[in-house]
Amino acid sequence: MRNAILRRILSSLATLALTGLAAATLLRLAPGFDVEVSELDGRTSAETLRQMREARAGEQDIVSFYGRYLRDALQGDLGRSRSYEVPVTGLIAERLPVTLKLIAWGLAGAWACALLLALANIAFPKVELGFNLLTAVMLSVPAGLVALLILMGQRPVALGLAIALFPKLFSYSRGLFKQNAATGYALAARARGLSAASFLSRYVVWPASPALLAILGLSVNAAFGGAILLETICDLPGVGQLALQAALARDLPLLVGMTLFVGALTVSANAVTDLASLYLTRGRGRA
């Protein structure tokens, strides 16, 4: 077990470093990397243009840039944002609480509703049609519209995130529950006249827990993705909004710093859920 954990942590770190490099390379390759809007200013002379372009020369060679960046990052320095001209760590520290709160509430709400309704669906199969319609409608509405409605109704943004995450989580967990409810064991147990509560917990939810954990890790990623959209539309100053602005402004230090930081969060969330799932399956294997 300890070996597995160690291996998981090492591979997570490697993934993280790779992710940072991939983000840096992509941004460097993205069109418009070394262009600034101010170049369109009709007043600017050729000499000034030349000097403006020179200022970005340090970021041209991405490998050496990334090497230097990682070295500094290990010492806790994520560099200085080009577009905001402030240290990246400060920006992240300022905005992280907003996003963490949003994601925590959003995930909690979405998971609670998804699990409860999925169980309700198993317990009362007759409502299935209603649930199908509900999820179909929710999947068909763009998250942008949800964000806008939240904004207009002045409701908490986390509600929007929960609404955006809910249908997928519901579909997954219902699928898993159904599958478990239909196994021979479960059917036999039910035929024995097991109470609904213990049937659901022992034969439906418990066997699904490793898979649910895997999805939990994934939903953290999805929540960060949703946060980008919701924070941007609802103008919530979190890291999601910051990440999009960094990409749009081709702000290399900021984007790489953000990728590493958010990557560290999601990768560790995934590692934890993976290990937990490993632990659960192992435990079961022994039983």
Partner 1 sequence: MRLFVLLWATCLLAADPAVLKFCLRSEPKTFHPLKVGDDASETVRYLTAGTLVKINRRTQLPEASLATKWKTLDGGQTVRFQLREGLRFSDGTPFTAEDVAYTFQQVGAIRSGFTDSLRQGDNAPTATVTGKNEVTVRFAGVTPGWERLIDGLGIMSAKSPLQEKAVLGAFMVAEYKAGQYVVLGRNPHYWVRDAQGKPLPRVDQIRMDITANRDLELMRFKRGEVHMINKVDPDAYQTLATQMPEAVRNAGVSFESEQLWFNQYAKSPLPAYKLEWFRSTVFRRAVSESIRRADLAKIAMKGLAVPGVGPVSPGNTVWFNTKLAAHPYAPSVALAKLQKAGFRKQADGLYDAGGHRVEFSIVTNAGNKTRERLAAMIQADLGEIGIRVSVVTLDFPSLLERITRGFNYEACLLGLTNVDQDPNGQMNVWLSNTANHQWNPNQAAPETPWEAEIDKLMRAQARTVSQAKRKELFDRVQAIVHEQAPFIYLVHKNVLTAIHPTVRHSLVTVLFPHVFSNAEEVELQGAGVYRSAR
Partner 2 sequence: MKRLAIALLLALLLAGVAGQFLLPARYDQQFRDQTDALPGGQHLLGTDELGRDRAARLLAGARVSLLLAPAASVLALVLAAVLGLSAGWFGGWWDRGVSTLIDLMISVPIFLVLITARAVLPLNVSPVTSVMITFLLLGLLGWAGSARVIRGACRTQLNSDYILRALATGCSRPRLLFVHLLPNLWPVLRTQFIVAVPAFILDEANLSLLGLGVAEPLPSLGSLLKELTHLPSSPNWLGLAAPAILLAITVCAFEFLLPPKEGSS
Q: Does 128 bind partner 1 (CB under 8 A)?
A: no
Looking up tokens 């300022």, which residue turns up? Answer: 94
Per-residue binder mask for partner 2 (CB under 8 A), 203-242, x = binder: ----x--xx--xx-xx--xx--------------------
Alpha carbon distances (Å) from 36 to 31, 33, 53, 250, 287: 12, 8, 9, 9, 63
Using CB distances below 5 to 8 A depending on partner kind, what does residue 41 bind out of partner 2, partner 1, none?
partner 1
Q: Does 105 bind partner 1 (CB under 8 A)?
A: no
Looking at residue 168, its amino acid is K
- 87 in helix, strand or coil? strand
Judge contact between 252 and 66, C-beta under 8 A.
no
Which residue of 55, 133, 188, 196 would you call a contact of partner 2, by CB under 8 A? 133
Looking up tokens 């418990």, which residue turns up? Answer: 206
C-alpha to C-alpha distance for 156 and 149, rounded to whole angstroms: 11
**Measured from the CB atom, is 152 or 197 closer to partner 1?**
152
Task: Show Cβ contacts of residue 9 under 8 Å, excluding neighbours closer than 6 positions.
Answer: 271
Choose the binding region for partner 2 from 16-24, 46-54, 72-80, 192-200 (rule: CB under 8 A).
16-24
Q: Does 143 bind partner 2 (CB under 8 A)?
A: yes
Q: How far is the CB of 57 from partner 2 (least distance, A)?
A: 21
- 232 in helix, strand or coil? helix
Judge contact between 223 and 270, C-beta under 8 A.
no
Q: By the criterion CB under 8 A, which residues form the site for partner 2?
A: 11-12, 14-15, 18-19, 22-23, 26-27, 29-31, 125, 128, 132-133, 135-137, 139-145, 148-149, 152, 167-168, 171-172, 174-176, 178-179, 182-185, 207, 210-211, 214-215, 217-218, 221-222, 243-244, 247, 255, 259, 262-263, 266-267, 270, 277, 281, 284-285
